[in-house]
Amino acid sequence: MKLSDIAAALNARVEGDGNLEVTRAVHPAEAEGPGDLALAMDKKLLPVLHQSKAVAAVVTEAAAIPDGLAGVIRVRRGATAMAGLMDVFEKPVHAEPGIHPLAWVAPDAEVGEGVSVAPFAYIGPRAVIGAGTVVMPHVTVGADARIGASCLLHPGARIGERVVMGDRCIIHPNAAVGNDGFSYVTPEPGSVETAKATGQIAGSNAMIRRVNSIGTVILGDEVEVGAGTTIDRGTVTATRIGDGTKIDNLVQIGHNCQIGSNCMLCGHTGIAGSVIVGDRVVMAGKTGVADHVTIGSDAILAASAGVGTDIPAKSIYMGLPAVPRAQFLDQVRGLGRLKRLFADVAQLKAALGDKAQGEG
């Protein structure tokens, strides 16, 4: 691929020889020769570029580059350029065309044009698989599920019955979409119900009865679900994930949740049932959200935030329990001053004690 073609894909400009042929993109320290394109958009990598064997590189607009490079692509924003470069040099998963003889596809399932179904995959009765979708080994798609076009289901993905998935979704290994919700009830108010109501435990969890989940999960277009993530179906209606939302590995989304579009939910986030999340919300790693909480659009929850109350739109919350960022930083500063405060109090007590003894 010519350097000029890569630059065009990135909407960037070339300095030097745009006809250079590039075969792979690499870290500057791993370049082996003229076919390697060194990625040095991070300023920390520029010193490495000086020692690199690469003759072509991608750098930011203002970066100072060493002599000896035959061609350079200059980009405005490194992170955006990285996304574009990964598209250019993408290495798609290996997928054989058609349905493998060792896959099981129900006779009444609908499989679109250009679908790949790998060995040991299961497609249940009346399921629909959209055109161009890739179903990798050991994937299960339950009865009546509807998978959109150009989706990618990685090995071991579990798509439950009646789940609806939009186009261009990616489900990573061992993610489970459409599990029963964690929903149980006792004949009389139990320990948690009484504790919430009165602040005391006045009941016991005798004869715990499950509440079956007859709803489903609906994913919008271009939703990505990370490895080991679980999304519970709604009790009666649907748990919904909006278009473009990206969910990291090991995330739990409870039953009846309504997640907006273009959200980012990072690893180990846990969202209890019936939570409403607006659009473009970011939840950093290990965020925990209590049930029936509403989080406004464009809010950011910092790592390990423990959310037990509603969060306003366009706000930053931190800590456990989660509070506004300014309040959290005040708390941290206060903790930092405690040692000095204790020393001052001890000194004051000693001075007062000496004075009292003198007067006595």
Catalytic residue list: 255
Main-chain phi, psi angles of 354, to 5 degrees: -60, -40
- The span from the CA of 67 to the CA of 1, in Å, is 23
- Which residue, among 34, 12, 8, 13, has the nearest Cα to 22 in the 3D structure? 34
Bridge pairing between strands 209-210 and 184-185: antiparallel
| CB contact burial 265-275 (16+ within 10 A = b; e otherwise) | bbbbbbbbbbb
For 200-252, give the DSSP string.
S------S-EE-----EEEE-TT-EE-TT-EEEPPSSSEEEE-TT-EE-TT-E
Contact 16, 70 (CB under 8 A): yes
Residue 348: burial class (beta carbons within 10 Å; 0-12, 13-18, 19+): exposed
Nearest to 237 by CA among 258, 223, 252: 258
Token pair listed for 182: 């964690």
Residue 321: cis peptide before it, omega within 30 degrees of 0: yes
Q: Could you give the CA distance from residue 27 to residue 45 in angstroms, rounded to a whole number?
A: 9
